[in-house]
Amino acid sequence: MLETELDRKVAPSGYFPSRWPVECGGNRRQKSESGGIFAKKGSPRVTTIRNGRWNVMTIHRAEREIYLGGTMPAFSGPPPFGWLQKIDPVSLNVLAESPELPCGEHVWCGAIAAHANGQIIMVNGNYLHSLSSDCQIVKEARLPVNQAHNGLLVLSDGTIVTKDLRLENQGCSTITRIDPENLELVHEPFVLPEGSMGRIASDKTPEGEFIYVPGIEKIWRIRVSDTNMKLDETWSPFYRRINGDQGLAWDGCVSDGYLWIMDNGDIDSLRAIYGSHPNGRFERTDQANFSRLSWQRPTPWKGHQRLLRFSLLDGSVEAISPFCSSGGGIIAPPVNVPEHNMCLAWDSINGGLVGISTEKEELSLSWSLEVRPSMQPVVFPESGELVINHYEKGDDQLIVVDILTGELLSKVSLDSPLANGMFLSPGFDRDIYYCSTLTFARVKWG
């Protein structure tokens, strides 16, 4: 029987001892932090930086050390590159910055993580870098697959895993496992039975360490050993049929004995980016693809947005379609909050944020809110707050929502004209860091 650890945020031993060393706060992607915003007890104050970059995520290393990683939104013209900055946690001033980091000319959001060895690990395009605490290159490696890679995680033994992103009919994706000291392969890359769009999640259990990968039709579970990775032949449930009217799944959230996903993620802008190679690079005259880069375009399918829950024991699935509008779509995955028996989901294309009750065996709609989220959120189970964005008429805003009731507790404009599916992360004192294309911001309540 496969059992998970107690459902709390636990950073595996491969990370620097930090409150938020990696995207989503940990390998299970629970996006959960202690404390709270306590939005009813103060007004938000915003510090916004327009840096003209594709800001992807922030992570913590040592106490009050914030690192911001990203790429350049260079869909044509001079080659894109990745970058890492050490940021003052209050003023957002740049304290240290990396040189331009090659990415194989792929334009896509990579990832950063604070490794147990003290270095910052970064994947961008088909390159992996380890950087010092002052953002200088320690090692550089070109990954064996010439495709943009979608995120990275550090396993409990300190090895790094990353996966290339492929859409339907683009071949099989590959998971590459890297030694953190020399950035060399631990073993031959693992080739999935199908392509994969969403980022990987992982879980260390008494039965072993597992990686969860959303594929084209199935969710795959991979068992990790010291020397290899193998498919778990007992667990590979379907979430999608190719003939069905639904899109591909983004990342999974491992929580409360289940894997939670939303489908309908390969929207038209993503298909444009991955329809070119290097990914996201177009000729200046290719106006047809440039016009497709907005995530707000109608979806290529008619299906409603779904939330799906998979048992980690037997792979059984329950799906719910809580939104009324057809042609639903997202650019970020859901988050389950077992402390409140609630899973939070949304429809970015049509708008709508919902709380799905998990208190009974069957999933049910608990509340809905007319906002338009698109980002990877942060939840505070202790205060019962969800922090996520709301995009409205060229103005991206940050909102705080009561997890149990759906009450809108706070809303503030970020002076950000573009929204995307990037990562929110917590600060140190009732504050949140916001990353989007062209804009980086901090919101402080109190």
Q: What is the mean pLDDT of residues 50-58?
A: 97
Task: Quote the number of domains for the chain.
Answer: 1
Contacts (Cβ under 8 Å, ≥6 apart) of 410: 37, 39, 40, 44, 398, 399, 400, 445
For residue 34, being part of any structural domain is answered with yes
Q: If pLDDT is split at 50, 70 and 90, which confidence band does 289 have?
A: confident
Confidence of residue 12 (pLDDT cuts 50, 70, 90): low
pLDDT digits (tens, 9 = 90+) for 339-355: 999 999 999 999 999 99
Confidence band for 4, pLDDT divided at 50, 70 and 90: very low
Per-residue model confidence (pLDDT) at position 287: 86
- Identify the CA nearest to 201 among candidates 228, 219, 225, 183: 219
pTM for the full model?
A: 0.95
Give me the percent of the chain exceeding a pLDDT of 70: 97
Summary mean pLDDT of the chain? 95
- Enclosing domain of residue 405: 23-445
Residue 11 binned pLDDT confidence (cut-offs 50, 70, 90): low
Does residue 12 form part of some domain?
no
CA distances in angstroms from 309 to 259, 260, 263, 360, listed in the order given:
6, 5, 11, 13
Query: b vs e for 227-256, b when ≥16 Cβ sit within 10 Å of the residue's Cβ?
Result: eebeebeebbbebbeeeeebbbbbbbbbbb
DSSP 188: S
Q: Please give the pLDDT value at position 8.
A: 43
**Alpha-carbon distances, residue 17 vs 13, 115, 322, 446 (angstroms):** 8, 9, 39, 28
What CATH number is given to the structural domain containing 188? 2.130.10.10
| Residue 241's pLDDT band (cuts 50, 70, 90) | confident
CA–CA gap between residue 309 and residue 302 (Å, rounded):
21
Does residue 135 sit within a domain? yes
Q: How far is CA 322 from CA 101, 136, 332, in A?
A: 42, 47, 17
DSSP assignment letter at 305: P
Residue in 356, 376, 366, 373 with CA at minimum distance from that of residue 309: 356
In a domain, 247, yes or no: yes
Q: Is the per-residue pLDDT at 7 higher than 80?
A: no
384's CB contacts (< 8 A; 6+ apart) are: 36, 340, 402, 403, 404
User: Per-residue pLDDT for 301 more than 90?
Assistant: yes
Dist CA 85 CA 88 (whole Å):
10
- Token pair for 427: 């600060």
Instruction: Please write the tens of the pLDDT for every residue from 222-239.
Output: 999 999 999 999 999 999
Q: Report how far residue 231's alpha carbon sits from residue 367's, in angstroms, rounded to the nearest whole number.
A: 38
Instruction: Say if 395 falls within a structural domain.
Output: yes
